[in-house]
Amino acid sequence: MEVSTATPVSLGLAPSRPARITLSPWTILGLSKDAWQREDWIRLLKGVAIGVGTFGLTYAAMQYYQSSRKGMKETRIASARLEMHSKDVTAPLNRDTRVAHLMVFPVKSCGGIVVDSFYAGPMGPEIHTADGIVVRDRSWLVVTGKSVMETQRKHPQMALIRTSIQGNWLVLDAPDMPSLRVPLRGPLSENLSESWDSSSETAPHIINTNIFGGEISGVDCGEEASEWLSRFLEQPGTRLIYHPESFGGRRVGATEVNNAMKFWKEGDKCVYADGAPYLLLGQSSVDDFSSRLPNGPASFLHFRPNILVTGCRPYEEDEWTRFKIGEAAFFNSKPCSRCVLTTVDPETGTRTRPDVLDTLRAYRLAENPEWKGMFKKSPLLAINVAIERTGRLAVGDLIRHEN
Q: How many CB atoms lie within 10 A of CB 9?
A: 6
At 319 the pLDDT is 92
Nearest-CA neighbor of 114 among 43, 162, 70?
Answer: 162
- Give residue-wise pLDDT tens across range 99-154: 999 999 999 999 999 999 999 999 999 999 998 999 999 999 999 978 899 999 99
How would you class 85 by CB atoms within 10 Å of its CB: exposed for 0-12, middle for 13-18, buried for 19 or more? middle
At 8 the pLDDT is 32
Nearest-CA neighbor of 204 among 250, 234, 239, 180?
Answer: 239
- Give residue-wise pLDDT tens across range 72-95: 444 444 444 444 434 333 344 567
Higher pLDDT, 9 or 360: 360
At 39 the pLDDT is 55
Higher pLDDT, 389 or 185: 389
Local structure of 370: helix, strand or coil:
helix
Task: Please tell me the pTM assigned to this model.
Answer: 0.75
Lowest mean pLDDT among 13-27, 83-97, 177-191, 302-316: 13-27
Distance CA 55, CA 358 (A): 54
pLDDT above 50 for 41: no
Give the chain's mean pLDDT.
78
At 213 the pLDDT is 73
Q: What is the dihedral of CA 345, 126, 242, 274, to 10 degrees?
A: 50
At 355 the pLDDT is 96
pLDDT above 90 for 380: yes
φ, ψ for residue 29, nearest 5 deg: -85, -5
At 289 the pLDDT is 96
Lowest mean pLDDT among 17-26, 159-168, 268-277, 381-390: 17-26
- Give residue-wise pLDDT tens across range 332-378: 988 999 999 999 999 999 999 999 999 999 999 998 887 788 888 99
- Paired with 401 in beta bridges are 323
Q: Where are the alpha helices (DSSP H) in 20-109?
A: 25-29, 38-83
Cα dihedral across residues 274, 278, 282, 283: positive or negative:
positive
At 348 the pLDDT is 95
**Whether the Cβ atoms of residue 261 and residue 163 lie closer than 8 Å to each other:** no
At 43 the pLDDT is 58
Domain ranges of the chain: 93-401
At 389 the pLDDT is 96
Most confidently predicted of 218-222, 253-257, 398-402: 218-222
% the chain with pLDDT above 70? 68
pLDDT above 60 for 293: yes
